[in-house]
Amino acid sequence: MEHWLKEWGKGKPPAGWVIEIIDDTLTRLEGMTKEDETEIAQLNNELTEKFLKKVKPTSVKNYYTCLHKAVRIHFKDKLTAKNSINHPTKGKREHFACTLIDTPDDIKALNLGLQREALDWKQHNVAHIEEPDLIVNRGRELLESAIATYEKEGYASYADIGASLALLVGLRPGEILRDAVLKPSSPYTIILSQGQAKTRGKNRAYEMPTLIEADTVLKGYNILRNTFKADKLNDLELETYKNNLRFQVELNFREIVPTLSRLNGETTVNPQRLRAVYDAIAVFYYCPPQVKDFVYIKAINGHEPTPGKADAAMHYLDYQIGDGAIVSAGGQRQGIKLGQPGVKIIKAIADKLETTDHEKALMRFLSNESQPVVKESVDSDITPEVLGLSPEWVKRLGAVMEETGQTDFKAMVCELVKQEIKFREGLRNRHEGKDFQSMPLSKLKRIRHRDATAEKIRRAFLAIKHHNSHVASERSQRWYINPTSIHKLVGGRFSSITPWCEAHKDEIDSHNQTYELSEGDNRKSVDISEMIEVPEYPMD
């Protein structure tokens, strides 16, 4: 058969033993359909056993990922109604093995528990950078010295330039030495147009800040590309050069960059840590105060947007700026260099801020619609773009307006707002006067009314409280009460749960303090819904 490895594409191919397992699995899958539940379960068990003989449970997921990639390649032109299903999250048909053959739930639960513990540890055990300018100046000196040597002698140390760029732009060794393509953008930003590692085959160009002048960074980068030809080196051949770069990082930064001894007994700094140092200093220098640090860090590292998920950037939050540096900056924690000549906000963040401003303007406009008409009325020339809609949504909106004969966008918006108000008033009036406290939970969940929502939240709170006080016998079995734990039991919007918790803060805090509970107590290998069930009828 045509071997799938020929189309593997970017990324390190699997080891020989993994290839053997995948080949055997693909052969067995040829004759299976999605209805062969017993055979599928047996194959999954056998795969897990094979992987566990070679790797730890924490790594099993990676090998299932390799298998899924091989399955997609091998079966891309062989999908039928019998061997394919609709992928639950991608919304397209794939071979059933990409969903039904996967890391077992018990291993997923184990890994999730370990990840949560590690995340909790990271959040409470960070290293503090007390002199960020000292670290940046060391990177500047190292780079400028290499540039001066090149201009005088015609050569420069690739390892010196690489070590400086690891700090000044936070790139990985492989990106610095071979893969990254950097282009100018502004006096203190550059564009990484290609060569980002760990993109799963998706090339993304993005803007990133430089901790010193971008011209100097690009000058060093161009010297490196002119004097160190690594484009034909594979990952294994490049490793020796990476080690030399790592040595220069340790040599130049070990005395001024704090180490993270909590990680594998770490006693010195390395390029991976410098990426986190870069992120912390970039936030301190350039992140607008109203933007969350992890949002900014994800943007400057080229992470794809993942709404509601901050943990994707937590790896880079190992370092924080120390209080001494903040005091020296007049108490400013973020964006201390914004406003200086040549310094600008990167486009990904500026776009977010602009969208937010559009939303605020729209809310002000809609608010004014309900007020008496005065001379200083709001500008009637409101357009779809003021909403911050993407071009696709603007196009769809235009099509709807054309179909319905609408020509006045402002009038259309006002009519929609009025309809929404009437709808919500109808919901409120429909359930007005009902006794929600005596209703069964299953019925409450179907009612969209603020009092019904409040009752659901109250019952979840009482259920956790009862479990902690009368069911759990030790702290490891108890749950910290907060909006997240309540949400996991009864669902609902955090915009409703959080205000309820704030209104009952004293009672919640008192209970949590009685059992000395914190958010860390909720990082268990099982979900709260597996241990606590909110009863159908109220407990009081």
In the chain, domain spans: 4-103, 129-328, 351-429, 438-531
CA 539 vs CA 392, 436, 458, 475: distances in Å: 50, 14, 10, 23
Q: What is the pLDDT of residue 356?
A: 57
Q: What is the pLDDT of residue 101?
A: 93
Q: What is the pLDDT of residue 369?
A: 45
Would the pLDDT of 91 be above 90? no
Would the pLDDT of 42 be above 80? yes
- Grade residue 1 by pLDDT with cuts at 50, 70 and 90: very low
- Grade residue 381 by pLDDT with cuts at 50, 70 and 90: low
- Summarised one tens digit per residue, pLDDT across range 281-325 is 999 999 999 888 888 998 998 876 554 444 445 555 678 898 888
Q: What is the pLDDT of residue 6?
A: 86
Mean pLDDT of 95-123: 80
Would the pLDDT of 359 be above 90? no
Q: How far apart are CA 102 and CA 97, in angstroms?
A: 8
Q: What is the pLDDT of residue 307?
A: 46
Mean pLDDT of 369-390: 50
Q: How far apart are CA 459 and CA 266, in angstroms?
A: 47
Would the pLDDT of 111 be above 70? yes
User: Crossing angle of helices 505-514/494-503, nearest 10°?
Assistant: 80
Would the pLDDT of 199 be above 70? no
Q: Which of 133-137, 139-143, 339-343 has the lowest mean pLDDT?
A: 339-343
CA 314 vs CA 116, 122, 294, 301: distances in Å: 11, 8, 7, 12
Q: What is the pLDDT of residue 20?
A: 93
The most confident of 5-9, 180-184, 376-380, 444-448, by mean pLDDT: 180-184
Percentage with pLDDT > 70 across the chain: 81
Determine the 3-state secondary structure of 216 from DSSP: helix
Would the pLDDT of 417 be above 80? no
Average pLDDT, the chain: 83
Amino acid making up residue 370: S
Q: How far apart are CA 105 and CA 102, in angstroms?
A: 9
Would the pLDDT of 263 be above 60? no
- Grade residue 504 by pLDDT with cuts at 50, 70 and 90: very high
- Grade residue 265 by pLDDT with cuts at 50, 70 and 90: low
Q: What is the pLDDT of residue 305?
A: 56
CATH superfamily of 129-328: Telomere resolvase (1.10.443.30)
**Three-class HEC string of 318-385:** CEEECHHHHHHCCCCCCCCCCCCCCCCCCHHHHHHHHHHHHHHHHHHHHHHHCCCCCCCCCCCCCCHH
Mean pLDDT of 177-195: 92
Mean pLDDT of 163-181: 94
Beta strand residue intervals within 29-131, DSSP E: 84-86, 93-95, 127-129
CB 111 within 8 A of CB 62: no
Mean pLDDT of 507-522: 90
- Summarised one tens digit per residue, pLDDT across range 49-62 is 999 999 988 889 98
**Residue scoring higher pLDDT (334 or 127):** 334
